[in-house]
Structure 1
């Protein structure tokens, strides 16, 4: 009787181990897909003159795929040290994974800019700085 119980337990254990295997019928392992990340290459000039129109550009990718249909790409900017007084502007979807907006600054200073980006149920907000006029360069701080 003990032998039959041991044999039954052994068969049951082998069956459980086989059921817990993460291999598909084709022999490929599941879960080995690369984790895709939402990434934004945020392009802003390092320096500009007062009143000059500059282009803010976000290149949005999800893994190797360019995101042509982001839920939102919005730029937010403020003078350094004065984040409470920020301005938000919507971007233009260029249909090729790039999102742009134009802005100009009326006063000299260092400005910080976020590219708020939401796509594929993910959100990221890279930040850049720009120096307007003859202020101390954002790179020197």
Structure 2
């Protein structure tokens, strides 16, 4: 009798474990997507707006914990970090002026909803 009860309890435990795994697999959140937008032409000593459009699936992320832009000139070891301001509709931005012509890169460090994404985009200052 004890063996039958033990066997029944084991079967119930295994069935309960399988159903929890299926529920967890169905609730995987969509990835955090970040699109960095930079003007096509940026002139030296002219203000430029750099934006990060943040989405999760079809939803625009309005509640990012942190959006930070790291700007670095090619060939230099140092970079400058600036906090992005929320503009609405999932867009975060900075406004900056580049003092020297050259090739630069910007990395948008975005933390939201327990995820982190950091795409990098290169651009040229003329």
- Scaled by the length of structure 1, the TM-score of the pair is 0.73
The structure carrying a bigger strand percent of its residues is 2
Q: How many residues align?
A: 124
Are 2:54 and 1:60 aligned?
A: yes
Name the CA distance, whole Å, in 2 between partners of 1:50 and 1:64: 36
Pick which of 44-53 and 72-81 moved more: 44-53
Deviations 1:47-93 (A, max 9, x none): 32212222101011123321112111111112101132x11222211
Return 5+ residue gaps in structure 1 as ranges. Answer: 24-28, 134-141
Note if 1:20 corresponds to 2:17.
Answer: yes
Query: CA 1:91–1:8 in structure 2 vs 1: closer, same or farther (change >3 Å)?
Result: closer
How far the C-alpha of 1:7 sits from its partner, in A, is: 5.7
Cα RMSD over matched residues? Answer: 2.3
Map 1:1-141 onto structure 2 (within 5 A): 11-12=8-9, 14-22=11-19, 29-31=22-24, 32-84=26-78, 86-133=79-126
Q: Distance in 1 between matches of 2:98 and 2:12?
A: 69
**SS of aligned partner of 1:54:** strand
Q: Compared with structure 1, are the counterparts of its residues 82 and 19 closer, same or farther at alpha carbon in structure 2 (3 Å cutoff)?
A: same
| Distance in 2, Cα, partners of 1:106 & 1:118 | 29
**Moved segments of 4+, more than 6 Å:** none
CA distance in 1, matches of 2:65, 2:6: 54
Name the larger-Rg structure.
Answer: 1
